[in-house]
Chain A
Amino acid sequence: MMIPTLQTDRLTLRGPEARDWPAFRDFFTSARSIHTGGPKDPKAAWILFAAELGHWQIHGFGMWSVTLKDDTSIGLVGCWYPDHWPEKEIGWLIWDGYEGQGYAVEAAKAARAHCYGPLNWTTAVSYIHRDNTRSIALAERLGCTHDAAAAHPDPEDMVYRHPSPSDLGPSEIRT
């Protein structure tokens, strides 16, 4: 399966691989996943992991594995659009121990540049649980604003709308 690889100064965004499973499992079986659909038992987590790959196959876009340059998995960031969702999302999951170093914002900007460039998205949202203050702070660092009028997939979620491609300008859009 052809998944594009994106590079940033400190990170590589590549297709999820079976070797990322232990880190994914540890996240989704821990309390850390409480605002992103977890915690789950290991089987449910594996099924979601498989769905991450299937998402790429169905849509041609999806969530990348974010790794340090030595291939250490630090999270998943990218595009998420299951069938019933009102809009295409830019999402992020950062494993325990890799927060607070600006990795998520670096990866999310690379993902957004891909969405607005090769994928030709004209807008993007991030759905964030109202209690997930760290994630809301990240959305704000990415220039997102709360869009109270937008539809959301879950009543507990708030919709944060990303700046449009023209708001960002060519330096933040991948060619």
Chain B
Amino acid sequence: MTPHLTDIPALETKRLTFRAPQASDFETLAPFVMSDRATFIGGGADKDLGHAWRILAILCGQWHLRGFGAFVAVRKDTGQTIGSMGPWHPEPVPEKELSWTIWDAEPEGQGFAFEAMKMIRRHVYGDLG
């Protein structure tokens, strides 16, 4: 029996769908976390697979603890996993953050993060109050 995140709101935009993070995201997330692209968000070329694994575990775990969390955005046209986007709120941090990471460099610069974050901001102001 593999536990799944249920009750994740179904969100989509013109070019993207959003789903819960899952084990298979590790393949795309790990190279990102261990690259210089992730230097400003707690990753970097000096990080190992274990660090990357923990990032995925945190992305999943926040949903269970908070009832909200970051979505994984997937391109409708190619099925490509773009990155994680959504609320981030570890315990002692005073305010909820809206976060975004684009895992692979290729889909950058096409407005995906902007498109996604407008939808997710509507979701957190609306559905989450």
- Tell me how far the C-beta of A24 lies from the nearest C-beta in chain B, rounded to whole angstroms: 10
Asked whether, in the complex, the Cβ of B54 is within 8 Å of the Cβ of A57, the reply is no
Asked whether, in the complex, the Cβ of B49 is within 8 Å of the Cβ of A46, the reply is no
Q: Is A55 positioned at the interface, with any CB of B under 8 Å from its CB? A: yes
Asked whether, in the complex, the Cβ of B61 is within 8 Å of the Cβ of A54, the reply is yes
Chain B CB within 10 A, most for which of A53, A59, A84, A153: A53
Q: Is B23 positioned at the interface, with any CB of A under 8 Å from its CB? A: yes
Main secondary structure on chain A at its contact with chain B? helix
Asked whether, in the complex, the Cβ of A82 is within 8 Å of the Cβ of B3, the reply is no
Q: Which of B1-60 contact A (CB under 8 A)?
A: 1-6, 22-23, 26, 30, 48-50, 52-54, 56-60
Contact of A83 with B53 at beta-carbon distance under 8 Å, contacts A57-B60, A60-B2 already known: yes
Q: Is A121 positioned at the interface, with any CB of B under 8 Å from its CB? A: no
Q: Is B92 positioned at the interface, with any CB of A under 8 Å from its CB? A: yes
CA distance A51 to B61 in the complex (A): 5
Contact of A46 with B90 at beta-carbon distance under 8 Å, contacts A51-B61, A53-B65 already known: yes
Chain A CB within 10 A, most for which of B48, B53, B59: B53
CA distance A57 to B93 in the complex (A): 24
Q: Is B64 positioned at the interface, with any CB of A under 8 Å from its CB? A: yes
CB neighbours of A54 from chain B (8 A): 56-62, 64
Chain B interface bracket (under 10, 10 to 19, 20 to 34, 35 or more): 20 to 34
Q: Is B106 positioned at the interface, with any CB of A under 8 Å from its CB? A: no
Q: Is B77 positioned at the interface, with any CB of A under 8 Å from its CB? A: no
CA distance A55 to B48 in the complex (A): 17
Asked whether, in the complex, the Cβ of A47 is within 8 Å of the Cβ of B90, the reply is yes
Main secondary structure on chain B at its contact with chain A? helix
Considering only CB atoms, which chain B residue lies closest to A60 in the complex?
Answer: B2
CB neighbours of B53 from chain A (8 A): 58, 82-84
CB neighbours of B54 from chain A (8 A): 47, 51, 82
CB neighbours of B65 from chain A (8 A): 18, 21, 49-50, 53
CB neighbours of A42 from chain B (8 A): 91-92
Chain B CB within 10 A, most for which of A21, A41, A52, A153: A52
CB neighbours of A18 from chain B (8 A): 65-66
CA distance A1 to B92 in the complex (A): 25
CB neighbours of A134 from chain B (8 A): none
Chain A CB within 10 A, most for which of B1, B56, B58: B58
- Tell me how far the C-beta of A21 lies from the nearest C-beta in chain B, rounded to whole angstroms: 7
Residues of B within 8 A of A (CB): 1-6, 22-23, 26, 30, 48-50, 52-54, 56-62, 64-66, 90-93
Residues of A within 8 A of B (CB): 1-4, 18, 21, 25, 41-43, 45-47, 49-60, 82-85, 153
